[in-house]
Amino acid sequence: MSSTMGTHSGSLPADPPGGQEPAEVPAVGRMPAIRPERAPVPTSDGTVVLDVALPVYNEEAALEPAVRRLHSYLKDSFPHRFVITIADNASTDSTLEIARSLCAELSDVRVVHLDRKGRGRALRTVWLASEAAVLAYMDVDLSTDLAALGPLIAPLLSGHSDLSVGTRLNRNSRVVRGAKREFISRSYNLVLRGSLGARFSDAQCGFKAIRSDIARALLPWTADDAWFFDTELLVIAERAGLRVAEVPVDWTDDPDSSVDILRTSIDDLKGIVRIGRDMMSGRIPVAELRDALGRNATDRSSGALLGQMVRFGVIGAFSTLAYLALFILMRTIADAQAANLVALLITAVANTAANRRLTFGVAGRTGAVRHQFQGLVVFVLGLALTSGALFWLHSGREPSRGLEVAVVVGANLLATLLKFILFRVWVFKHPRRNLAVPPPPGPTDAPIIK
């Protein structure tokens, strides 16, 4: 991989993210926590404020007019220092030669050549190597009206937001594209909201920006090198409690786009499954990222409580159904107390494991035995509650089977409420700790050029 800017040349890290981290480069995990109150970006000290990346692959026809148009727009409309980075993704036509020619002519243009394709790989590489305070990218066809660039980066410069994305799905957006692409786009974003709880409206609009301090914290946790990179970065950002601003854009579809819609859609669905698995397994340490980067501790705690209640409720509902099925099954071969004990014990172990991972975000084996032991203590309290209810019910005349089931379900729901409280304030209580982002695992370490 090579890098050129203006008439000067230099070298960027030879290995893309995912290779071994150079020993002299500090890992992202060792940087101090970024305070929730973001400071405005300094714009008067002569440093580069904005770096706009243009990922390209075999774009010899579109590249030069796009760069000249973007450069002219920034010269006329952006009052601070900027850089345009052409990220050539192993083009096989004359794209790289055109890019180098533009670089030699325009002092604010640089070129980075990568030996492998992939928009995600290109953006991760150039963003981690950039010295600008705000990092942006757009598609080289400039389908998005450049008038939206100011509103895109303004909330990042002021410190109001951490990421900013263009959206074609806002009612104030003006979009010209075919019905097929419109349907696919809306369907994909609907899947994202349903599967990952995403709140952003348009994951794949090629018009985004991010503060560089946030980028250095999040990018090493991204794994996709292609089109799903955008979605992955946004999902991690939202789960980390970061603020994502959305800007309605005017957008005109490129009829000559070479994107394989079917293949990209399949890859995106695979990406959704993978990132969900990565967050559940702890490969992406959502809780730690939220502690280090998330905004407004009070609001974050409130949101965390609501999310925990929802996840706990869903798990509790499945646990109650499983308990009920086991109780009814065991009741055919044992008395009520024995059936209650077996059903509670089996569901309690599974419930504790599920809540540990999904509700309270605890991953890995550390503390797992202690958590199960504490979960068994909570189980004993639940057992005492439900057994006491059954004892009271059977202290009189023999109840009907329907009444017996209703009583144990009610007692189990009450025990579930008690369980949530104890899980939150005792079993899975987060200790106070140094709020620094942990280092990513070795295979995803990314070099940072300061």
Predicted confidence (pLDDT) per residue in 113-127, tens digit? 999 999 999 999 999
Q: Over pLDDT 70: what percentage of the chain?
A: 82
The 8-class DSSP code of residue 365 comes to S
Closest C-alpha among 235, 248, 244 to residue 274: 235
Which run of H or of E encompasses 195? Answer: helix 179-196
Which of 152-166, 179-193, 379-393, 420-434 comes out lowest in average pLDDT?
Answer: 420-434
Q: Domain 2-295: state its class.
A: alpha beta
Question: How far, CA to CA in Å, does 190 sit from each of 193, 194, 201?
Answer: 5, 6, 9
Mean predicted lDDT score pLDDT of the chain? 81
Both tokens of 439, joined, read 């280092």
Q: Say whether pLDDT at 354 is over 70.
A: yes
pLDDT at site 258: 60
**CA-CA distance, 83 to 81, in Å (whole number)?**
7
Q: Say whether pLDDT at 440 is over 80.
A: no
Give 366's contacts (C-beta < 8 A, 6+ positions apart).
Answer: none
DSSP letter string over 269-287? HHHHHHHHHHHHHTSS-HH
Beta strands in 212-268 (DSSP E): 244-248, 250-252
**Phi, psi (rounded to 5 degrees) for 251:** -140, 135
Q: Say whether pLDDT at 236 is over 70.
A: yes
pLDDT at site 88: 95
Q: Which residue has the higher pLDDT, 268 or 158?
A: 158
pLDDT at site 101: 96
**CA-CA distance, 241 to 57, in Å (whole number)?**
34
Which range is most confident: 240-249, 331-340, 351-360, 382-391?
240-249
Q: Say whether pLDDT at 91 is over 50.
A: yes
Mean pLDDT over 256-285 rounds to 80
Q: Which residue has the higher pLDDT, 50 or 412?
A: 50
pLDDT at site 428: 82
Which of 298-302, 393-397, 406-410, 445-449 comes out lowest in average pLDDT?
Answer: 445-449
Question: How far, CA to CA in Å, does 181 sit from each of 262, 263, 270?
Answer: 11, 14, 20
Give 122's contacts (C-beta < 8 A, 6+ positions apart).
Answer: 53, 55, 87, 89, 112, 114
Q: How confident is the model at residue 75 (pLDDT cuts 50, 70, 90)?
A: very high
- Domain locations in the chain as residue ranges: 2-295, 298-427
pLDDT at site 436: 44
**Phi, psi (rounded to 5 degrees) for 302:** -65, -45
pLDDT at site 19: 36
Mean pLDDT over 238-250 rounds to 94
pLDDT at site 33: 52
Q: Which residues are catalytic?
A: 230
Mean pLDDT over 74-103 rounds to 96
**CA-CA distance, 125 to 119, in Å (whole number)?**
10
Q: Angle of helix 368-394 relative to helix 336-354, nearest 10 degrees?
A: 150
